[in-house]
Chain A
Amino acid sequence: MAAELGVPPNRTPAEIDIGGPDGRIGSAFEAKWLGRLGFDTQVGPFYLGLWGVVSFVSAGLFTFIWLMTMLAQVSYNPIAFLKYFAVLQLDPPSPAYGLGFAPLDKGGWWLVATFFLTISILAWLIRIWERARALGLKPYLAYGFTGAIALYLVIYIIRPIIMGDWSEAPGHGIKALLDWDNNTSVRYGNFYYNPFHMLSIFFLLGSTLLFSMHGATIWALEKFGAHEEEAEIIAPGTGTERAQLFWRWTMGFNANAYSIHLWAFWFAWLCGVTGAIGVLLSGTLVSDWFQWAIDARINYPQAPPVPVELPLP
């Protein structure tokens, strides 16, 4: 019956025809231990391609500049480098340089490194777009990646340009990122009152919740084949029916094998995009989110005390 319905048979990863070399590097091998976790066992081969080369070379240059700058800060002492790795940072130029090119040791290396990081990310976007098209797929992964790229570009490129100097962007380094995060929030009156920050957190935690719900549902129904989603979307079987009934009985409504992935895609995409809007507005149009929330009448710092009911005489 499965064959009549055009439902693909259950094939083990080893039986999958991956279509010959066709520009791919290496050959597939089996990692059996992965199978014991319920994961696919086939590893590789890998496609590189022009945009892959651009992306990896750019990312390599970024990493090299970043690490060498930090290594220089500890006089090339490897043990000090490890000890201080989390607090070393490659900072952008000071505000005095505006958007101009600063001397290399005064933030110029940050400009060069960030340039290569941006090239690497954009080349990766093109790479996953082209790979999808080459395999006859709509490039949804590339669409989704634009959400994360929007956030990156706003933080590192667009907002610094609007604000007029590169020092608005975070430095490269672990502590540098955390400090930028904290300082940007405090400087604009606490990001907790930024409605787009609220939305971004909502979609971030919402995505985690969605994947918890969806992943656990499908995991619980593997023996009914619910995880074979490409087949279940065309012809839902007992696995998908149980998944739908579970949520209908639990919360009164349910998605289906296709629409849950629409929910997934949009929640994850919007996490990046709403975050990008929130950062873009800070310092450009809104200077104090605390005051903004009072003006918008969602925040009441001077709330009068709750009226006390006097006892009856």
Chain B
Amino acid sequence: MSAPGKGRGMAIDLSFTVLDGARETRVPGGRTIEEIEADFRKPGNTTFTSVFGPDPFDFWVGPFYVGVWGFIGSIAIVIGSLFYFNETIFKGPYSFPQNFFAGRIDPPPAEVGLALQRAGEPGFAWQMTVLFATIAFFCWMMREIDISKKLDMGYHVPISFGVVFSSWLTLQVIRPMLLGQWHEGFVIGVMPHLDWVSNFGYRYNNFLYNPFHALGISLIFFATFLLACHGSAILSAAQTRDPSPERINQFWTDIQYYSIGEAGIHRAGALTAAVGILVSNLCILFSGWPVQDWVAFWGFWNDLPFWRGF
């Protein structure tokens, strides 16, 4: 890697080059999925094979790749779904379609603390659903790493998935552990989880005054804005007689002085989305511990020494 900034105190170089011959593989109109799969469905090159040698689950089922992580993940998905549907739909008080909205799995009561519940005790179904969902999400991330390895891709997709997985962990595992009770986890269910979010916001007085909430929302809106810009730019380009990136670059520099480029926009979009979610994690994590009131939180602002008198 040649870093143009080397020797000047700044050696960060995240630029890239396209491999020789990659562009020559382009086929007008594209190839059929059968032709493509014939080239890429090869055994080996998974996380499991790199450690243990053979991978007993190194196969596909229909379009899906399985692998060891797919196998473990499937079991977790089935068991977790059984807990979820049993508790919300089948044991719910109404008809099945109504239970889809109303059904709920509550976390254990506060006095349980961080203990594990036995079958039949309140919160057991919640703990089991969260446990198997967590295993399933983790396996999904590891399976994406397997598929990335097989396709000789970077690990950007599993890392991005890991970011949103961190939100699940923050809400259901890390924050409840910091506060010392599983009761702090959110209620699982369609409408009940909305109630939980609403109540959570007002429990800390006004969540809109939470600066991490504000920053997270802003970044998520910005990611949506960038997505609209990128989607519309490519649709525009694809519908001209001479689709070339130069025309789109010229459009962006004309209207906003700078065009980040066709590789740059994907990096910027993925980064904005990821940072938005990571900042949102903080807004949850800091509520209840250490901040109890996001309105009173701003008291420090008026007491800053350089403008206390104003």
Interface positions of A (Cβ within 8 A of B): 1-2, 5, 7-8, 10-11, 13, 16-19, 24, 28, 32-40, 42-47, 77, 79-80, 82-83, 127-128, 131-132, 135-141, 143-145, 147-148, 178-179, 181-182, 190, 192-193, 198, 203-205, 207-225, 227-242, 244-246, 248-253, 256, 258, 261-265, 267-269, 271, 293, 297-300, 303-307
Contacts and interface: CB of A to CB of B under 8 A. Distances in A.
A242 B245 contact: no
Contact of B244 (A82, A225, A230, A299): A230
Interface residues of B, number: 126
B98 A46 contact: no
Contacts of B232: 140-141, 143-144, 265
11 contacts: A37-B264, A39-B260, A83-B304, A144-B228, A228-B262, A236-B26, A237-B23, A242-B152, A250-B143, A261-B238, A265-B235
B266 A214 contact: yes
Given A13-B261, A140-B236, A223-B19, A235 B28 contact: yes
Main secondary structure of the interface of B (DSSP, over half): helix
Interface string B131-170: 0000000000001100110111111110110011000000
A59 B108 CA distance: 53
**A28, A128, A198, most chain B CB atoms within 10 A:** A128
A215 B269 contact: yes
Contact of B310 (A16, A35, A80): A80
B91 interface: yes
Given A224-B19, A225-B22, A303-B93, A253 B237 contact: no
B227 A268 contact: yes
Contact of B261 (A39, A132, A136): A39
Contacts of A256: 30
Contacts of A198: 194
Given A79-B310, A237-B24, A269-B228, 6 more contacts: A39-B260, A42-B249, A192-B194, A241-B30, A268-B228, A306-B93
Interface string B1-28: 0011100001011111111001111111
Most B CB within 10 A of own CB, among A128, A224, A249, A253: A249
A83 B64 CA distance: 57
Interface in B229-275: 229-251, 253-255, 257-274
Interface of B: 3-5, 10, 12-19, 22-31, 33, 36-37, 39-40, 60, 62-65, 91-94, 98, 101-102, 104, 143-144, 147-148, 150-157, 159-160, 163-164, 190-191, 194-195, 197-198, 206, 208-209, 214, 220-221, 223-251, 253-255, 257-274, 276-277, 301-302, 304, 306-307, 310
Contacts of B241: 136
A194 B191 CA distance: 11
A305 B237 CA distance: 57
B4 A246 contact: no
